[in-house]
Amino acid sequence: MSVRAVEFEPTFEGWQAAARALLREGVPPADVRWRETASGAQPSLIADATAPSSGAVRVPRRFLDLARRAAAAPDPARWQILYETLWRLVHENHDLLNDARDPGVRRLSALAKQESEGEPEGEGAARLVPAGAGLAELRGAAASCTGCDLYRHATQTVFGRGPADARIVLVGEQPGDQEDLKGAPFVGPAGEVFDRALADVGLERERLYVTNAVKHFKFEERGKRRIHQTPRANELAACRPWLDAELAAIKPEILVCLGATAARAIFGAGFRIMKDRGRFAATRWAPRTIATLHPSAVLRGEDPAQEAKLYQMLVEDLRLVATA
Ligand code: URA
Ligand code: SF4
């Protein structure tokens, strides 16, 4: 095979257009020499690409996010690294990015990270999530997350807890006061309800992975008390990459959304918890995904009778999970 010199505009879009044409023609990475042209010049391969666009190449969205960031890094080798990764995603392994130890994946994440250094804060966690990382690495990176403003007032990042090979993942909304102080999810009053319900259906907490849609406690100070505030859509969106990365690392068989916030994050904004709870559906995160009441909703019942009823609903749904 002869070596192809590819002239292209050194932007993500310029690289992408050239890479698409190369892929279409089946040119392997080893045969490509990337030559940056002045801004505004036509990428040569696109100019003379006569092949009709034969269906877009399907790559994980995470790759596009990473590639965009890596393209902004100063390293001249980035174009070649990007194309090598793209080639392998298409020809070798669609799930390549989940392999944290793969040297190519590591190089790509390092590039993406270069770009994010010195970026302004508050743009979401996406730039801070190491690609293809395992749980321990994710937890470490999340500890210094500045993806939104919530880290400024909270004590610490409350990352998920549980074994990396958990079959079942449960997602709540956001850490509360106790969780913020202890650094673990569901260890306060809602955690007590949660633990009781798990025990009632025979699920062992040590075997579950438990996390939240948002990793920092949001609160309002009233005297000495810190009152929980519901996260806003922009905070949910900012923190979402952490949840996605946790789920990508674990690949659970069963995913349980605790409460409306988590359920909407997973099933979409139209989800109605009281109407739609207690039914398994396949999602891209787990073949069996289900939603139930948030344990703290049980604590907000109007009277003991209603609390008992709400608690029964939670237990009923968790029993489906325990027996699935
Ligand atoms: N509520 C949640 O949603 N998560 C916690 O970790 C604690 C309370
Ligand atoms: Fe980062 Fe999430 Fe904390 Fe915001 S809430 S700073 S996105 S970990």
pLDDT, one tens digit per residue, over 136-162 is 999 999 999 999 999 999 999 999 999
The answer, yes or no, to whether any atom of ligand 1 lies below 6 A from the CB of 190, is yes
Cβ of 179 below 6 Å from ligand 1: yes
Euclidean distance between CA atoms 97 and 140, whole angstroms: 19
Q: Is the CB of 109 under 6 A from ligand 1?
A: no
Lowest mean pLDDT among 14-23, 46-55, 151-160: 46-55
Q: Which domains occur in the chain, in start order?
A: 4-121 (no CATH), 147-323 (3.40.470.10)
Which bound ligand lies closest to the C-alpha atom of 242?
A: 2
* pLDDT at residue 125 is higher than 90: yes
Q: Helix/strand/coil (H, E, C) string of the chain? A: CCCEEEEECCCHHHHHHHHHHHHHCCCCHHHEEEEECCCCCCCHHHHCCCCCCCCCCCCCHHHHHHHHHHHCCCCCCHHHHHHHHHHHHHHCCCCHHHCCCCHHHHHHHHHHHHHHCCCCCCCCCHHHCCCCCCHHHHHHHHCCCCCCHHHHCCCCCCCCECCCCCCEEEEECCCCHHHHHHCCCCCCHHHHHHHHHHHHHCCCHHHCEEEECCCCCCEEEECCEEEECCCCHHHHHHHHHHHHHHHHHHCCCEEEEECHHHHHHHHCCCCCHHHHCCCCECCCCCCEEEEECCHHHHHCCCCHHHHHHHHHHHHHHHHHHHHC
Tens of pLDDT, residue by residue over 176-202, are: 999 999 999 999 999 999 999 999 999
Do the Cβ atoms of 249 and 133 come closer than 8 Å?
Answer: yes
Task: State pLDDT tens for residues 279-315.
Answer: 999 999 999 999 999 999 999 888 999 999 999 999 9
176 lines ligand 1 (CB under 6 A): yes
pLDDT band at 113 (very low <50, low <70, confident <90, very high): confident
Cα 188 to averaged position of ligand 1 atoms, centre (Å) = 8
Residues with CB under 6 A from ligand 2: 125, 142, 145-148, 150-151, 157, 214-216, 235, 238-239, 242
Confidence (pTM)? 0.65
With the most atoms of ligand 2 within 8 angstroms of its CB, the residue from 150, 230, 236 to mutate is 150
Pocket probe for ligand 1: among 157, 186, 218, the residue whose CB has the most ligand atoms within 8 Å is: 186
d(CA 269, CA 40): 41
